[in-house]
Structure 1
Amino acid sequence: MLRSIKRTFFWLSGAGTETLELCPNWEQRKYVAFGATVLVPCAFAFIACAYALSTLTDKASVIYPVALVWAFIILTIDRALLAGYRPFLSWTRKLSQFALRLCVAILMGLTIAHPLVLLLFRDTITSVIEEDRAQEIEEVRSVFATNKETVRGEINRLDASVADQREKWTETFQARFIIQDREDASDALPGLTAEQQQELDASIAEATQPFTERLDVVQQQADELSPTYAKLQTELGYWQTEYERELNGQRSGLVGEGPRARSIKADQLEPRRTEAQRIGALLEHLSAEKATLQTQIREAEKNAIATFETRLAEIDAANRAEEERVAALKRQVEEDQATAFVTQQNALRDTIKQQIDSLLAEQELAKQELAAVAAEERTRIEALQNEPRRDVLTQTLALHELFEQGAEGGKFAFYTYCILTALFMLVDTIPLIVKFFTKPGPYDRLLDRDEISFDAEHQAFKESHARYMEKLADGNLIAVTRNKRLEHALVDGVEHSRAAREFLDSLIAMERSFAEQMKLEQEANTNSGPEKIEVLDAMKKRFYEDLHRRMEVFFTTQHA
């Protein structure tokens, strides 16, 4: 288990497991640490990508797989940067190599650092975004408030016009000219004496007294109720506007009929609307009663005059006949006037009714326009309130706006952002920095030795292949190149033959040198005794056995 974990960290560090296992334990522990440093930016990359995606969607099935893929990409890039670094280079090439990889690491670090900084500043950024949202909502409300005030002004103008036309409609039912109001009773019956006139006035006053007193009471009540009714209408209009503003969220910020709206409706609107209806009905009743009383007064006056005329007829027949003639003429005139009045008033009422209907239609259109404006305002505000505004771009703009707010606070936020960004970039580039400033160890030397050997072998192969191609061009074997397998076999045979020849030449040269040296030794030790001669013979035998073994090994390997 520990061996598998160690090999996993070897792989993360970009090192070869087989080569590292040839190194000491302390070298292996160093590369385990390198592999661990690769996991740190990988973990930060997962967190940063997950947060960035969470600003766009809430689906875990999208966020975590994509974050895992991004973390694997960062891991692969960091591993490739570590695997491609070589310490045994000149300082110029080493710095250029490190600078290129550092630029890539910094760019990748920025992609990790910026979302993480946004995550750390999330509460502050959210407050800035919400302030901007509230400001936009307030601007929308101010624009729509102006539009609504314009529409309400039009509705009030139409209400006034309708009330004016309805007053004219009411006046068409009054026929004051039929019964003329008289300043004194002498106008009714000309030729009366002073005593008769006083008696007639007393009779009229007595007959009309109940109705006159009641008319005074009704008029007083109407005069008292009219200011109250006007005040209620004004208050009702004001609280209706406040109730609509509460429904639209302009006062408390809550759209819909909330506790404040219900309180306004129950405590202000409903009592005033009920009281206004009651007082309006009472005023209408008093107006009707007033008209009735005026009619009754005129009838009582007429009856009193008729009674007095009857009494005068017994006194003066001539005056009675004149009075009857005048009364008949008056009735004829009143009938003619009534006929003309009815015709005129009917036509006038038709005209007024048409005007009222037209004004009511315009008023209905204005109310519909007001409702449409209010609906559009709610739609716009709900759209602004429902906007998530969690994407990275919006948060970045809010963070930039935070930098510009206030001399000290903005600078502190900017410096903090720079420090945190540099910290996260350092965390992401730490594997490459640690690798760069770490002293080359046994693994680096083994790897450098393998690369040097491979480069040397590659160079030897290129030189050998060049010589082969030159000989091939001078010979008659050019057709062999049309068959790749035959060409490879021929190249291999030629190279092996050349190697065998050089090997044999080296062995022969070595054997000649050895034979000459042995001859000199034997001549020098001719008189040294048998022991020295036996040693020289043993060395000679051992040399030729070793030479024979080398030849067997070489040619056996070549054959294989």
Structure 2
Amino acid sequence: MLQKFFIFCSGADTDILETCSNGERNKYAGIGATVFFTAIMAFIASGYALYTVFDNIYTSIFFGLIWGLLIFNLDRYIVSTIKKRDSFKSELLQAAPRIVLAIIIAIVISKPLEMKIFEKEINQVLLEEKNAMTLENKEQLALQYTPIIESLNRDIANLKNEVAQKEAETNALYDTYIAEAEGTAGTKLLGKGPVYAEKREKHDAYLAELQQLKQSNAKKIAVIENQIAGLNTDYDKAVSNSQPVIDGFDGLMARINALNKLPWLPSFFIFLLFLAIETAPIIAKLLAPKGEYDYKLEEQESVVATWVTQKVAQRKLLMSTDAVMNQQIYEDIKSEEELYRYKKEKAEELMRLQANSFHNTQVKGLS
């Protein structure tokens, strides 16, 4: 039962193989098994590749099954259409397009499995790329907010400097009227005279302005700090909203690019393995000597070809013979006087009828 299934997979004519030796059947069962297991590996590889795209196991299995059946049908067709010939060169020339197709299929099958085999290494490369993208994303977003925040911080610094400058002036006036009262500066008269009162009044006026300036600037600084806090919140929100896009940067194309950044030699050997598997049935048929099945298949095809050629030749001969006979028959009929007179009478009768019909039509038109 298993042998019959693998023979079916090989695309061989089961009726012919039934008349062949057991060794011949085993050979084609082996070729069919290679075709079958290649399709299984294509199903696994495409299923994994599609899972990285759709992230749904049922969808991946469905489309992976379709892809596996497609590869199975292609391999079966490739193997079944290679015919053994008397010249190896003609066989190789016949198989060349099929080998190219097998190379393409091997690349398609091997790439997803390479991504699965080197999944940990690919994840590491993707992690590094995501970290770099996160930093770059923060820097790009910061370019939108940093100049505004720096400008607001400068405004706060200016307001604080304004208060500090006013406070320094007020302190200087305080020192002045104290020194006047102590007699160490100004008039150098000990006690609180008119000059002292004037300087004290000026200091008190500056002190009142200082208090008012502190209050107004404190309100302005609070407003600006709220603006800065809002900008920082907006920046954090922008970073948070863009991060899922970076975290989701692990699709099929991203993984293929990450795989290409790894050392090429291991991937190349995996590709060679799948290429060997994919081309194994073709190489086996090319290298194998002409067997019993090939002779019987060639005999059957030659019988059909001979029969078709014979039928075509018979039809051509029949058509040419029929044409010659028809020409001779019409030549003989042309020389018969009785047939001539009969056709002449019929022609005269037809012309009389046409004339009468034309006359009647004209008469009706005049009445």
Query: Residue by residue, what CA displacement relative to the aligned partner does 1:268-315 show, whole Å, maximum 9, x if unpaired?
Result: xxxxxxxxxxxxxxxxxxxxxxxxxxxxxxxxxxxxxxxxxxxxxxxx
Q: How does 1:372-521 map onto structure 2 within 5 Å?
A: 372-384=234-246, 386-391=247-252, 393-402=253-262, 413-476=263-326
Partners of 2:86 and 2:112 in 1: CA distance: 37
Q: Which of 103, 108, 115 is 2:100 aligned to?
A: 103
Residue 441 of structure 1, CA deviation: 2.0
Matched, 1:77 2:74: yes
Query: Residue by residue, what CA displacement relative to the aligned partner does 1:423-471 show, whole Å, maximum 9, x if unpaired?
Result: 1111011111112212222221111111000000010011001012213
Partner amino acid, structure 1, of 2:322: L
SS in 1 for 2:113: helix
Residue 117 of structure 1, CA deviation: 2.2
Q: Partner of 2:360 in structure 1?
A: none
Q: Is the 8 A contact 1:37 1:430 kept in 2?
A: yes
Q: Is the 8 A contact 1:169 1:349 kept in 2?
A: no
Q: How does 1:132-531 map onto structure 2 within 5 Å?
A: 132-142=129-139, 153-154=150-151, 156-165=153-162, 168=166, 182-183=181-182, 187-188=190-191, 356-384=218-246, 386-391=247-252, 393-402=253-262, 413-476=263-326
Q: Is the 8 A contact 2:9 2:33 kept in 1?
A: yes
SS in 2 for 1:468: helix
Residue 26 of structure 1, CA deviation: 2.2
Residue 94 of structure 1, CA deviation: 1.5
Query: Residue by residue, what CA displacement relative to the aligned partner does 1:45-88 show, whole Å, maximum 9, x if unpaired?
Result: 11110121122122111111111111111111111112111113
Q: Is the 8 A contact 1:117 1:417 kept in 2?
A: yes
Query: Residue by residue, what CA displacement relative to the aligned partner does 1:320-371 show, whole Å, maximum 9, x if unpaired?
Result: xxxxxx9xxx7xx979x979x87x9878876775555444433432332233
Partners of 1:6 and 1:348 in 2: CA distance: 103
SS in 2 for 1:389: coil
CA distance 1:85–1:383, change in 2 (3 Å): closer
Q: Partner of 1:39 in structure 2?
A: 36
Q: Partner of 2:51 in structure 1?
A: 54
Partner amino acid, structure 1, of 2:234: A
Residue 188 of structure 1, CA deviation: 4.9
SS in 2 for 1:440: coil
Partner amino acid, structure 2, of 1:419: F
Partners of 1:143 and 1:473 in 2: CA distance: 89
Partners of 1:179 and 1:122 in 2: CA distance: 81
Partners of 1:109 and 1:130 in 2: CA distance: 29
**Any stretches of 5+ residues in structure 2 without a counterpart?**
328-367
Partners of 1:96 and 1:180 in 2: CA distance: 115
The number of equivalent residue pairs is 319
Q: Is the 8 A contact 2:10 2:80 kept in 1?
A: yes
Partner amino acid, structure 2, of 1:46: F
Q: Is the 8 A contact 1:161 1:359 kept in 2?
A: no
Partner amino acid, structure 1, of 2:66: V
Query: Residue by residue, what CA displacement relative to the aligned partner does 1:149-202 show, whole Å, maximum 9, x if unpaired?
Result: 766654543443444455648998x9979999512697559xxxxxxxxxxxxx
Residue 22 of structure 1, CA deviation: 1.5
Residue 36 of structure 1, CA deviation: 1.0
Q: Is the 8 A contact 2:31 2:281 kept in 1?
A: yes
Taking structure 1 as the reference length, what is the TM-score of the superposition? 0.50
Q: Is the 8 A contact 1:151 1:370 kept in 2?
A: no
Q: Partner of 2:354 in structure 1?
A: none
Partners of 1:390 and 1:338 in 2: CA distance: 77
Q: Is the 8 A contact 1:38 1:75 kept in 2?
A: yes
Residue 417 of structure 1, CA deviation: 2.1
Partners of 1:166 and 1:364 in 2: CA distance: 20
Partner amino acid, structure 2, of 1:32: A
Q: Is the 8 A contact 1:12 1:35 kept in 2?
A: yes
Matched, 1:14 2:11: yes
Partners of 2:312 and 2:168 in 1: CA distance: 120
Q: Is the 8 A contact 2:24 2:293 kept in 1?
A: yes
Q: Is the 8 A contact 2:180 2:190 kept in 1?
A: no
Query: Residue by residue, what CA displacement relative to the aligned partner does 1:467-501 show, whole Å, maximum 9, x if unpaired?
Result: 12213333459xxxxxxxxxxxxxxxxxxxxxxxx
Q: Is the 8 A contact 1:88 1:448 kept in 2?
A: no
Q: Is the 8 A contact 1:169 1:352 kept in 2?
A: no
Partner amino acid, structure 2, of 1:389: D
Q: Partner of 2:348 in structure 1?
A: none
Taking structure 2 as the reference length, what is the TM-score of the superposition? 0.73
Partner amino acid, structure 1, of 2:309: Q
